[in-house]
Structure 1
Amino acid sequence: MNAQMEAVKKKMSVLGKSAVTSREYRAALIKHLREAVPFDGACFTAVDPQTLLSTGAVTEEGIEAIHHSLFENEYLREDFNAYDLLVKADDPVATLHGATAGHLERSARYRNVLLPAGFGDELRAAIMYQGACWGYLTLFRSHTQPLFREDEREFISSLVQVIAFNLRKRSLALPFEESIGMEEEPGILILSDQLTILSSNVVADQWLSLLQKWECIDFPTLPRPVRAVCSRALSVTSTAVELASLAKVCIRIPEGPYLTIRASRLSGTSTTVHLIVWFEPAKPSDMLPLISEAYGLSDREKQILAHIVRGLSTKEIAHSLHISAYTVQDHLKSIFIKTGVTSRRELNWHLFSRFSVHRDK
């Protein structure tokens, strides 16, 4: 590894310890990476580790113009280096020229999106930590520039876990100012299959405006989380109804608590496809998987935490999970250590005050 790459690693170590938001961290990381691995465009998307859908992206200007086409290709087309496959790969970092054996034109994404925009090779990284994915990093090179080298791909691969660790940590960060209140009424948005807004209520308009402000995009560009759940909903066929539940993202916005965004196809007598999108305060069933992943809880610890939020006693939890009360207590001690509390009472207060987790009514 050359001196420049080592210098960038040191800068990233300092960045990881700094008190910046997820978006600020991703923007700064792109800047540092460019010093060691030259590229002509970048997109760094944070994702919900449960559904692998975007919760917001930092996208450079040259990529913003083709971002909608990249989304469509990712969710509605089969192509090389699909992110849902990189998540499952032994090495979650790959280049387009490597995947196509040097024949970029084999990729529809290259032919239809990248090349017309002046781009050539592409490097993709699924940002993985302890089996969970926290983001997607994509670097692009102009078609006039050299392909990504293997040592550059290996360098990005060596950074994946530390980047994911820092994204995970920032998913639990509290807002700097007092949180805004959640509207009780759901936001409702109706869109065409081309993701054109057809109608909306006032609450949906408020959420759209807030998300656009957060992502630094202008109206009428759809925020990435909305685009992601819609694209997932459009990809669900009548033979894959069970996937419809995955057209959902749980997101912690900087100015408030957790928000759930869901999308679904609308059916009717018309052959025209319409989509409905809901914006709602997240339920414990939406929040707890994300919070549990962020704290690095084991599968059994996640189950116990869910039971604690429901108000079950140690004896009731033991009976429900078919384990002894002593085993429950051992898992509780581990949960306390990972979440930084010392008792069940403090854990419940922590979940309520920090994340607004309360029992479902």
Structure 2
Amino acid sequence: MNVHFTQLAQLKDARQQTYKHTLIDRLRTQVSFDAACCTSVDPNTLLSTGAFTESGVGHLHNKLLEYEYLHDDMMKYDQLVREGRSIATLHGATQGQPDRSRRFREVLHPAGFVDELRVPFMYKGSCWGFLTLFRHHKQPAFSTEEQQLLEALAPSIAYHLRQASVGLCPVPSTTAENEMEPGVLVLSDKLSPISSNITAEQWLKLLRQQEGIDGSSLPAPVRAVCLRALSTTLPPIGQASVTSTPPARLCIPSADAGIPWVTLRATLLQGGQGHIGENQLAVWFEPAKANDMLPLMAEVYAWSERERQIVQLIVQGFSTKELASELHISAYTVQDHLKAIFLKTDVSSRRELVWKVYSRFN
């Protein structure tokens, strides 16, 4: 099990795609598989912030995303995270009868795969990515020993995937780029582009470069927010309704030093008569604001829900007395929370905390 995953964290110039690619290469020395996909996600929404997909399964990636968000099936990643399951295989989940899964019948089996293994990468209770491995029909199902090995490696991988997501982003410069107009992209409900402004095209180009895909493909984060927007309006096929679905919004790191983080949002535009084929989706891109980044910062610095509330109010300029009044707690309790926040965030004052929020992520 001496795979040296910690060495990946020392590649300071490596971005997420390099990490994911190298990760899959290292894993292949330990476990046999015919194709793989490694996806980083927003820990608050579980939406994809970027994916590295090997050529053997690249043509299936978009279809698999649709099944993840729009169809009811077994072993979906949000289910694995919600249930606290660290690993699962299709062969195991179906008791050796994978054709019980619609995803298997309609996507995997026609492509020649016999088993699928899924690992949610969890670090301190938050999910930072997913790993999906596939095996062809001529290969055996994933063994218990192989699952145990991947399960043991998963926490270390999760930590370094988290670092690749948030630890290597440049401090933004104060350029006019931060004042650019929002990018707007309109697509059909089949995710075919209809129209866009220049800013949206610039963002799409940048995200495609980061993901290593051609100009005709939608980046995984754009596809993910669109599918989430569709799923919040239309219940997944085979499922009566959706409950507590996170919003169609996520923040992703950008390769642009002027704007290191971008916020993507999507919404469904209803057609004239409300038919599915007449609906359109609107996606917009904006430099991430402090309030957009606070949920992610809360995950990064392990703030409690109360600490997150206090930071949000501090950013708005609340004094200790105002914090106590707003949250219905004593000033002494506020001070105790502040000490914990300062310790976790490695600052020593409110001013440093606010600076860290704005200079790091705004």
Instruction: Note whether the superposition's TM-score is higher than 0.5.
Output: yes
* Greater CA drift, 189-198 or 163-172: 163-172
Equivalence map 1:148-297=2 (5 Å): 148-175=142-169, 181-237=177-233, 246-255=247-256, 256-270=259-273, 271=275, 272-297=278-303
Greater RCO between the two (CA within 8 Å, min separation 6)? Answer: 2
Deviations 1:270-313 (A, max 9, x none): 43121111112223332100111111112221111111111111
Question: What is the CA distance between 1:209 and its match in structure 2?
Answer: 0.6
Decide whether the 8 Å contact of 2:122 with 2:158 is kept in 1. Answer: yes
Pick aligned residue for 1:7 from 2, 6, 11:
2
Residues 107 and 238 (structure 1), Cα distance of their counterparts in 2 relative to 1, 3 Å cut:
closer
Deviations 1:202-248 (A, max 9, x none): 11111111100110000110000110011111122368798676111
* Number of the residue aligned with 1:103: 97
Measured in 2, the distance between the counterparts of 1:334 and 1:171 equals 24
Residues 177 and 236 (structure 1), Cα distance of their counterparts in 2 relative to 1, 3 Å cut:
closer
Measured in 2, the distance between the counterparts of 1:244 and 1:82 equals 14
Residues 35 and 241 (structure 1), Cα distance of their counterparts in 2 relative to 1, 3 Å cut:
closer
Question: What is the CA distance between 1:327 and its match in structure 2?
Answer: 1.9
Deviations 1:22-70 (A, max 9, x none): 3322222111111111111111111111111001111111121111110
Measured in 2, the distance between the counterparts of 1:177 and 1:247 equals 26
Amino acid at match of 1:268: G
Residues 202 and 18 (structure 1), Cα distance of their counterparts in 2 relative to 1, 3 Å cut:
closer
Measured in 1, the distance between the counterparts of 2:6 and 2:243 equals 41
Decide whether the 8 Å contact of 1:248 with 1:261 is kept in 2. Answer: yes
Residues 62 and 55 (structure 1), Cα distance of their counterparts in 2 relative to 1, 3 Å cut:
same
1:38 aligns with 2:36: no
SS of structure 2 residue aligned to 1:236 = helix
Measured in 2, the distance between the counterparts of 1:297 and 1:13 equals 25
Measured in 1, the distance between the counterparts of 2:302 and 2:22 equals 25
CA RMSD of aligned residues (A): 2.0
Question: How many residues in Structure 1 have an aligned counterpart in Structure 2?
Answer: 349
SS of structure 2 residue aligned to 1:36 = coil
Question: What is the CA distance between 1:251 and its match in structure 2?
Answer: 1.3
Measured in 2, the distance between the counterparts of 1:331 and 1:23 equals 37
Decide whether the 8 Å contact of 2:8 with 2:160 is kept in 1. Answer: no
Amino acid at match of 1:117: A
Measured in 1, the distance between the counterparts of 2:348 and 2:354 equals 11
1:352 aligns with 2:358: yes
SS of structure 2 residue aligned to 1:330 = helix
Decide whether the 8 Å contact of 1:232 with 1:247 is kept in 2. Answer: yes
Measured in 2, the distance between the counterparts of 1:295 and 1:55 equals 19
SS of structure 2 residue aligned to 1:87 = helix
SS of structure 2 residue aligned to 1:116 = coil
Decide whether the 8 Å contact of 1:314 with 1:325 is kept in 2. Answer: yes
Residue segments in structure 1 that go unaligned for 5+ positions in a row: 1-5, 357-361
Pick aligned residue for 1:307 from 307, 313, 330:
313
Decide whether the 8 Å contact of 1:91 with 1:157 is kept in 2. Answer: no
Amino acid at match of 1:266: L
Identity among equivalent positions (%) equals 52
* Greater CA drift, 233-242 or 301-310: 233-242
Question: What is the CA distance between 1:170 and its match in structure 2?
Answer: 3.0
Residue segments in structure 2 that go unaligned for 5+ positions in a row: 236-240
SS of structure 2 residue aligned to 1:140 = strand
Measured in 2, the distance between the counterparts of 1:112 and 1:188 equals 34
Measured in 1, the distance between the counterparts of 2:179 and 2:204 equals 14
Measured in 2, the distance between the counterparts of 1:41 and 1:155 equals 18
